[in-house]
Structure 1
Amino acid sequence: MSKIDINNTINTFAELGKRLANPDEALMGIINTERQYNAWFTPESVLSAVKATGEMLNSTDLSQWLAKYNITEAKGKRIGLVLAGNIPLVGFHDVLCVLVSGNHALIKASSQDARLIKYVLNLLVEVDSSYADKSSFVERLVDFDAIIATGSNNTSRYFEYYFGKVPNIIRKNRNSIALLTGNESTEELHALGNDIFDYFGLGCRNVSKLLVPAGYNFNSFFEAIEDFHPIINHHKYNNNYDYNKSIYLVNGDQHLDNGFLMLKQDERLTSPLAVLFYDIYESLDSAQETLLQQSEQLQCIVTTAAIKTQNQQVPFGQSQHPQLWDYADGVDTMEFLSTLS
C-alpha cells in the first residue's frame, strides 16, 4: 500500500475547486451545450451545479472534513459507483470520496450526466496526473470490492440482489421538505424558491412538500416566489405544469395555482413536477413528530424552527448547496470507505 499525503490531496482538490468555481472557456463550452444531450440541463442549471461543486472544494472545508478520518494508506480497492443523473454532477461527491480515500473508482455514469463528470475528472488529472489511473468509466460493473449505488425504490431492489454479497451503500428515493412557522420574512420565502425550483425540482434535496401551521395564508409565499415565474418558459417544465393542471381540473381536485406552480394538500412526500404538496400541523411538537416518523424518506429539512430531527436541517435557500460532510441519506460514505477491510 502506498502512503496518502493528505496535504497534497487537499491542495489538489482545492485547485480543482478553483477551476470549477471560475470556469474557463473550454468548461463553459461544455456547460453551454449540455442541454443538447439533456433538455433539463440548461446552461444556468449546469453552471450553478459546477460553481456549487467548486465552492464546496475549498481548502478549509476539505481540511476539516478529512481530519475526521484515519486515511494514511491507499487501499486501492475497486469501488463500483452507480451514479444518478437527475441533476448535473449529482454523483461527483461519491467519486470524490472514493478518490480521497485512496481507492479506485469504477464509474457507471448515468447517460443523463456522463459528459460533465468525465470532463471534471480530466480537469483533476490536469491538476495532478497521479489521478490518471484512479478512475475508469465502465458500461458494466465487474471485479469490484464494494458498491455505492444510487437509484429509485425500484432499482434498489435490483441493486440489493446483484450487489448484496459485497459491502455496499444502496440509496433509494428521498425527498426534502420545508417546515414553515408563518413568521418567515419575504427574503426567507424568496430563498425557499431556490430550494423548490433549482434544477427544476428534480433533485432529492429539492423541496417537494411544505408543512404549514393551521390557518396559514399562502399569499405571502406566492408573492415572495413571483420572481421564479420564468421557469414556466422551459418546455418540459411547462408540459408537466399543463399535464398536472389538467388532471386536477378534470378530477375536481382542490389546489392553488399561481400560473407556474400548483399547491395541493396531500399526505405524500413526492409531488409531481410543477406541483408542491403541503400538509397542515397543529403544533411544532406534532410537526416534529411527523418529521421523525418520515426520517427514512427525507433527505433534508429546510426550516429555521427550533426542532429536533434525525435529518439534516438547512436554512432557506441552501438545500442545493451541501457541504462535504452532508452525506446523502445521512450515511457516512467516507467512514464506509476508510474502514473497508
Structure 2
Amino acid sequence: MAATASIAELNDRARDVFRMVVDSYLGTGLPVGSRTISKMGLSLSAASIRNVMQDLEELGLLAAPHTSAGRMPTETGLRLFVDGMMQAAEPSVEERRAIEAGLAEVGLAEGGPIEEALSAATATLSGLSACAGIVMVPRREPVLRQFGFVPLNDRQALAVLVGQDGSIENRVLDLPRGVTPSMLNEAANFMSARFGGLTLRQAGDLLAREMEQERSTLEGAARELVTRGIAIWSHDADDRPVLIVRGQAHLIDDGTAADLDRVRQLLEQLEGKQEISRLLESALAGSATKIFIGSENKLFSLSGSSVIAAPYRGGDGRVVGVVGVIGPTRLNYARVIPMVDFTAQTLSRLMR
C-alpha cells in the first residue's frame, strides 16, 4: 500500500502540480494529463510534470484510472487538499441573499414552522451547490393533548395522537386479545385524561411508575392496550430519523452517465435515512463544519460520495441539528464549505 504524505513533505514543485491536478479535476471531473498542466502557466516541461505526477501517485495522492489517461486525486489526496491547501472562498453576496431569502419566506424569525424553514434552507443550499441538500431536524417531543383508537379489524386499530400544537399522527397498532370497542374508548379516554399536557417521555415514565405501584385503575386488556399505545409512540419517536433531503436530482447529470452504479448506490443511501442520520449525528458533537470524503466513512465506500455538514444552534445556544450537502467527491469544496457554514450560522441566528 502506498505511503501518504503531508503538505510539509511536498516540495514547491510537487505542491504546485498537485494543486493544479486537483483544481482541474474538481472543475471537470476528468483525469488530468501532463500536457494540460503544462498549459496552465507552470514553468516545467511536460516530461518533468509527468515525473512529479508519478511521485505523487507513489505517495498515494494521485491515481491513474486508465493507462495514459492522466491522473486524478485519490480520496487521500482530496483530504490532504481540503485540510492543508484549499483556499476557501466566502459565499458571494448573491448566495448569502438567496440563503437568507429562503428562510425569510417561511418567517422563521417571526416564529414560523421550523420544519418549513429547514426544508427551505435545504432546498436553497441544494440549488446553490448543485448537490443534494440535507438537514437534521431538532428532535422535538410533542406535548400531548388527546389520544384515540380507531378499530381497523379484530386484530388491529389505528392509534391517533393529537399534539397541543394541533399536529396529528397515526400508527397501526396490534391489539391484545379480547379487546372490544368499549375498551378502546376506555383506554383512549384514560390516556387523554392522564397524559394530556405531558411529553411522550413523561407519559411513559408516569405509566411505568403507576404500573409498578399498582396505582392504575385499568385492568387486563385495556391496561395492556395503554402500555402498547405509549410504547409504539415512544419507540417511533426515538428511532425515526428526522431528516429532510432535497435536490436528489442534482446528483444525476451528464457527467454521471458512465457512473450510474455509483449514483444508484448514493440514491439508495439517501433513501435509508437512518444511516445518513447516524453519520450526521457525529457532527452534532462539534462546533465546526465537518467534511466526510468517500470511503473515510463506511456508508459511502461504494458510492464514493462526500458530505459537508455544519451544526446549527437553537435559542438556548445548544447545538440542535445539522445542515449540509451530499454529492460526488469531486464537488467544489472551496465554494461549498463556506456556503454550508453560512447556512448553519444563519439558521442559528434566526432561531435565537
Give the TM-score normalised by structure 2: 0.22
- Between structure 1 and structure 2, the one with the greater Rg is 2
